[in-house]
Chains A and B, each alone.
Chain A
Amino acid sequence: MYGYAGRILHVDLTTGKTRVEPLNEEYAKKYIGGIGLGMRLWVDYSKAGVDPFSPENPLVLTTGPTSGTIWPTGGNGHAFVAKSPQTYGVAEAKSHGSFGTELKRAGYDGVIFHGRAEKPVYVWIDDDSVQILDASHLWGRSPAETEDVIKEELGDYYIRVAAIGPAGEKLVRIACIMNEKSRAAGRCGLGAVMGSKNLKAVAVRGTKDVAVAKPDEFLEFVKEFHERMKGPATKKYRTLGTPENVLVHNALHCMPTRNYNNAHFEAAEKVSGEYLNERFVAKIIGCSSCAMRCEHVCVVNEGPYKGAMARVEYEPLWAMGPYCGVDRLDAIIKGSELCNYYGIDSISAGVIVGFAMDCFENGILTVKDMDGIEARFGNHEAMVKLIEKIGKREGIGNILAEGVRLAAEKIGKGAEKLAQHIKGLEVTGYDLRCLKTAALGFAVSFRGADHNRHGAYAFDVKGKFNRLTYEKGRAKYVKDIEDVYTVIDSLIICKFSRGTYYKEFEDLAKVYTLVTGWETTPEEMRLKGERINNLARVINVREGLSRKDDTLPWKVMNVPIPDEGPSKGAYVRKEELELMLDDYYEVRGWTRDGIPTPEKLKALGMDDLIPIVEARIRKA
C-alpha cells in the first residue's frame, strides 16, 4: 500500500492490551482516511445510543493518506472521531502541526482507544512499541506542560504529543485535544471524551519512511502547488490571516455581536485583523510540509495582560471579542491563552461567555449567580475570568462548562432562547439571519453549528447569491461544497489551501492517485465525499437525530437584525427553513425526515449500513 501505513492500532485502556490489525483496503478506498475512515471505524466499534462518556464510546485517531508526505498542508494532519458529549451525534475534529506525520511514520493509519483506564495514563507509541504509562503526575497540567514533561521523561525532544488539559480531565463538554502547544482538535468536546477514558496524552515517535506510488510526478505536482500557494488563493492567510474577516463581516452586518443582539460591532476597528497585525502579531509560522504559513502568533507587550501569547484566528477572536462586546485584543489574546491552558474550544468558550453575559443583562443570572462578576457585555475582565472558571469548572463555570444548550436547561427562566447553538454545538462567527446559504449549511451540518463542514458562507459573503433570501435550487451548491469538504478532511489537507485546488475534484483525485497508486477519477473522488457525508448522517440517524435537529438557533429564527444597515430586518422564517431542508434532502436523495434511503446507500456502496436507516424509516 502506498500513502497508507496499512495498519490500525487498537489500545484497550481497560485491559491494558494492545493489538495491531491490517487496514481494511476496501475502507481505505471508500472512506479515504481522516474523518471518513475515522467515522467508519467508529461505527464498527460502537453500539447505538452509547453514552459519550461511557467506556464503550471508542475514541478514534486517524491520519490521512497524505500524512507524512511532503504534500503541501497534507503532510501534517490528524483527526479524532467519537460520539460528541455536546451534540450526541458524531464528533470529528482535525488538527495540524506535526503530530500526524509522526503517527504515520510510526506506522499507523489509525489508533482506536477502547475502554477506560483505571487511573490517569498516557499512551507512548514508539514505532512498533506501544506502552500505557502512568500519568498521575501529569493530571492537572496544561497540554503544553504535559508535552514538555513527557519529552523530558522519555528523553526525546522530537516526540510529538497530543494532550488534554485540566478541562478535559473534568469533562468540560467543550474540551479539546491539543498538540504542539498551539494547535487543537477543537470542536465537539472530544477532549472530554479523552478525559472520560482517563487518557491524558498520546505521545508518538515514528521513524519509518512514508512511500508514495508515483514519487516523481508527485513531486512535480508538489512544486506546482508551492507556486499556487504563493498566489492570490492563499494571500489572506499569509498576510492578515483570517482576522481579516472582522471588517469584511462587519461591513456586511453579518458579524454576530453581543450574543446575537446585533449583527454589527461599533468597535470592530479595534479588534480588526489590521489592528492585530500592526500591534500584536510577533511571528507567522507554518505546519509541517506547508508552503503557506498562516499561524499568526500574537504577543501582548504591555498592560494588564502583558506576556500573554497565543495563536489568533478570526473565530476565537470574534467569539471572545464582538460576541461578548469586548473591544480589546489584549484581553482576547489572554482569553485564547487560557483556552489553550485549560484545553477548551476557544470558539465555544467565547460563545458561552457571550451567552452568560446575555443572561446577566436580562436578569436571568445575577451577580451572586456569577460569583460576584459584573458580567456586562464589553467587560473584558469578566470575559477572561469566566473562561478561567469554565476551564476549572469552578462556581458558575461548572454550569457553563456544560455548553450553552445544557447550561440553559439548568438555568431555565428563558435562557434557552439566548442559547445560540445547533444540535448543542455553539455557533460560529457568521450571522445566519442574513447569510441564508450559510444558514442551510449550518442547519444540516452533521457536527452541529459549524462553518467548516461546508463553507457555504462564501456564496453569501462574496455575493454569488442574494444572501437575504432563499430560493429552491441553492441546496445543490451546499451539497457540492460539503462533499468537497469531507474529502479535504479525509485526505487530510488544510482548508486554508482549498483555493489552490483550482480544478477541485480533478486536483484532489490526482493527489490521491499519485500518492496511493489507485487510479481515481474526479467523479470517483466526488462520490467518496458524498459517501462520507452520508456515513456521517447514518451515524446521526443511528444516534436518534433527524429533521427536527436540522434547525437554527432561536434568535436566528425569531429576532430580526435590529441594526440600521444592509442586513436590517433579516431573519430566517420557519417556512424558509422548511424550504431549505426540503430542497437539501431532495438533492441528497434522503427522505423528508432527513434519513438517507436504502437506495442511496446502495448506490454509494454502503449496503451494510442499510439496516440502520431501514429501522428508522419504518419508525417514521
Chain B
Amino acid sequence: MVKIHERRFVSVDPEKCVGCQICEYICAWTKEKAFNPLKSRIRVVRLNPLVNVSITCRLCEDPPCVAACPRDALTQSEENGTILVDEDKCNGCGWCIEACDYGAIMLHPDKKVVFVCDLCKDKPDGPQCVKWCPEEALDLVTADVLAQKARITATKKLFQEVLKAAPSA
C-alpha cells in the first residue's frame, strides 16, 4: 500500500477558488463524456459569495467509506490510494456517503452506484480538473506538500512588508 506521505490528492486553495465550476464540467466530460456537473467527481460549494471551494476525495488513511461498506464493494488502491468501486457489488445503499466527512463520494445520477475521484488514472497528464482550473486553485499534492505550502503562504502574509521592499529576497 502506498504510504500516506506519498499519497497525492486534489486540493483546493480557497483563496484562489472563484466557484466557476469548470472543474465540474471537465471532470464530467473526462469521465462520462457528458456536460453535466452532476456527473462530476469534484463538486463546488459556494456558501455565500465570499466562500467558494471545490471538494473531492482526499484518499484518507483507513478510509471510512471502505469500512462502512456492508457489501465489500469499496477497496483502496494499493498503488495510489484512490477508492475503487466494484460496481457489481455496490447497490447504492449510501453507507459510504454517510461515512465520508467531505461529501466526496456520491451516488451516480444514472447508474445507481457510487462514484468517486480516481485521479484521472487513464490520463497521462493526470487530473483534468487541475489542468483546466483557470485560477490555478487546484493542485495535486501530498499532505506534506500541502503543509509546506500552507507554511509558505502564512509566512508570505506575515512578512509581506519585507517582501514588498525586497521582492527578490
Q: Give A residues with C-beta under 8 Å from B.
A: 68-70, 75, 98, 101, 105, 181-182, 207-212, 215, 219, 226, 229-230, 282-293, 295, 297, 299, 309, 311
Residues of A within 8 A of B35 (CB): 68-70, 209-212
A183's nearest neighbour on chain B, judged by CB, is B49
Q: Which of B1-32 contact A (CB under 8 A)?
A: 18-22, 25-26, 29
Q: Shortest CB–CB separation between residue A618 and chain B, in angstroms? A: 50
CA distance A291 to B131 in the complex (A): 13
Given contacts A219-B29, A226-B134, whether A288 and B21 have CB atoms under 8 Å apart is yes
CA distance A295 to B50 in the complex (A): 11
Q: Give B residues with C-beta under 8 Å from A.
A: 18-22, 25-26, 29, 33-39, 46, 48-50, 52, 109, 132, 134-135
Q: For the complex of A and B, list the 7 residue pairs with the smallest distance between their C-beta atoms, beginning with the closest.
A: A291-B134, A286-B20, A70-B25, A286-B18, A209-B34, A293-B18, A297-B49
- Verify B18–A230 contact, CB threshold 8 A: no
- Verify B49–A291 contact, CB threshold 8 A: no
- Verify B25–A297 contact, CB threshold 8 A: no
Judged by DSSP, the binding face of A is loop
Given contacts A70-B25, A283-B49, A285-B49, whether A291 and B38 have CB atoms under 8 Å apart is no
CA distance A570 to B21 in the complex (A): 47
- Verify A295–B49 contact, CB threshold 8 A: yes
CA distance A252 to B38 in the complex (A): 49
B132's nearest neighbour on chain A, judged by CB, is A226
- Verify B50–A283 contact, CB threshold 8 A: yes
- Verify A293–B20 contact, CB threshold 8 A: yes
Known: A75-B25, A207-B36. 14 other contacts (CB 8 A): A69-B25, A70-B22, A181-B48, A207-B109, A215-B29, A226-B132, A229-B134, A283-B18, A285-B50, A286-B19, A287-B20, A289-B21, A291-B134, A292-B134
- Verify B50–A284 contact, CB threshold 8 A: no
Q: Which of A68, A282, A284, A288 has the largest count of B CB atoms less than 10 A from its CB?
A: A288
CA distance A207 to B49 in the complex (A): 24
Q: Shortest CB–CB separation between residue B76 and chain A, in angstroms? A: 28
Residues of B within 8 A of A297 (CB): 49-50
Q: Shortest CB–CB separation between residue B12 and chain A, in angstroms? A: 14
Provide 22 A-B residue pairs closer than 8 Å at the C-beta atoms, listed in order of the A residue.
A70-B25, A70-B29, A207-B38, A209-B34, A209-B39, A210-B35, A211-B34, A212-B35, A219-B29, A226-B132, A229-B134, A283-B18, A285-B19, A285-B46, A286-B20, A288-B21, A291-B22, A292-B134, A293-B18, A293-B134, A293-B135, A297-B50
Residues of B within 8 A of A282 (CB): 50
CA distance A181 to B48 in the complex (A): 9
Residues of A within 8 A of B20 (CB): 286-291, 293
B21's nearest neighbour on chain A, judged by CB, is A288
- Inter-chain residue pair count (beta carbon < 8 A): 76
CA distance A433 to B33 in the complex (A): 53
- Verify A182–B25 contact, CB threshold 8 A: no
Residues of A within 8 A of B22 (CB): 70, 289-291
- Verify A181–B49 contact, CB threshold 8 A: yes
Residues of A within 8 A of B132 (CB): 226
- Verify A209–B36 contact, CB threshold 8 A: yes
Q: Shortest CB–CB separation between residue B36 and chain A, in angstroms? A: 5
- Verify B49–A98 contact, CB threshold 8 A: no
A73's nearest neighbour on chain B, judged by CB, is B20
| A181, A208, A230, A290: the one within 8 Å of B36 (CB) | A208
Residues of B within 8 A of A70 (CB): 22, 25-26, 29, 35
Q: Shortest CB–CB separation between residue A12 and chain B, in angstroms? A: 30
CA distance A105 to B37 in the complex (A): 10
Q: Which of A70, A101, A182, A290 has the largest count of B CB atoms less than 10 A from its CB?
A: A70
- Verify B21–A98 contact, CB threshold 8 A: yes
Residues of A within 8 A of B39 (CB): 209
Given contacts A68-B35, A226-B134, whether A299 and B21 have CB atoms under 8 Å apart is no
Residues of B within 8 A of A284 (CB): 18
Residues of B within 8 A of A181 (CB): 48-49
Given contacts A210-B36, A290-B20, whether A285 and B134 have CB atoms under 8 Å apart is no
Given contacts A70-B22, A285-B18, whether A230 and B134 have CB atoms under 8 Å apart is yes
Residues of B within 8 A of A208 (CB): 36
Q: Shortest CB–CB separation between residue B4 and chain A, in angstroms? A: 32
- Verify B36–A309 contact, CB threshold 8 A: no
Q: Shortest CB–CB separation between residue A218 and chain B, in angstroms? A: 9
Q: Which of B21, B25, B35, B39 has the largest count of A CB atoms less than 10 A from its CB?
A: B35
A181's nearest neighbour on chain B, judged by CB, is B49
CA distance A410 to B17 in the complex (A): 50
CA distance A124 to B19 in the complex (A): 25
A288's nearest neighbour on chain B, judged by CB, is B21
CA distance A98 to B43 in the complex (A): 14
Residues of B within 8 A of A292 (CB): 134
CA distance A226 to B134 in the complex (A): 7
| B25, B33, B36, B38: the one within 8 Å of A289 (CB) | B25
Residues of B within 8 A of A210 (CB): 34-36
CA distance A70 to B26 in the complex (A): 8
Q: Which of A181, A212, A291 has the largest count of B CB atoms less than 10 A from its CB?
A: A291
CA distance A241 to B58 in the complex (A): 35
- Verify B36–A105 contact, CB threshold 8 A: yes
- Verify B33–A215 contact, CB threshold 8 A: yes
CA distance A211 to B50 in the complex (A): 32
Residues of A within 8 A of B52 (CB): 283, 285
Residues of A within 8 A of B19 (CB): 285-286
Q: Shortest CB–CB separation between residue B160 and chain A, in angstroms? A: 15
CA distance A210 to B32 in the complex (A): 12
Q: Which of B20, B26, B46, B134 has the largest count of A CB atoms less than 10 A from its CB?
A: B20
